[in-house]
Amino acid sequence: MTRMKLIFFVGANPASEGGRVAAAYRLAAAAADAELDAEVRLAGDAVLAADPAFVATVPGADELRARIDAAGGRRLAVSVCPRSVERRGINPEQVAAIGGRPRPLSDILIEVAEGRSHLVYMG
């Protein structure tokens, strides 16, 4: 059986819905620990998770920060929406610091349409 990559797509603002962003990381990490190909996709306001100064202002953000930091030690890809990072002033160094890379949504949609990936919407 061929296994598809699981892409955990989240667009929630870490300040108001940090649990959704943390859940995307938690599920992707569990998938990676089970030796599945997994990716966290940050889009919309979720890209603010790449800004440590912003995350530091979020009440209860310790769990989110720990999940982001732990992603680097796993076989876990993190991608960010290029337009979202540009609109929210997230710089390439911040993206790299969370182990992320810019990736157009069209690339993800092609993978899904071709049956190579499955998109899991986290909110």
**pLDDT at position 76:** 80
Q: How many angstroms separate the CA atoms of 118 and 112, rounded? A: 6
The CATH-assigned architecture of domain 5-121 is 3-Layer(aba) Sandwich (3.40)
The domains of the chain are located at 5-121
Interval 89-103: pLDDT, tens: 999 999 999 999 999
**pLDDT at position 81:** 98
Order of strands across the sheet with 76-80?
100-102, 76-80, 38-42, 5-10, 117-121
**pLDDT at position 59:** 79
C-alpha pair distances (Å), 22 with each of 29, 42, 82, 96: 10, 11, 21, 18
Interval 22-78: pLDDT, tens: 899 999 999 988 989 999 999 999 999 999 899 888 877 777 788 887 776 666 899
Buried b (16+ CB within 10 A) or exposed e, 18-31: bbbbbbbbbbbbeb
**pLDDT at position 117:** 97
**pLDDT at position 75:** 65
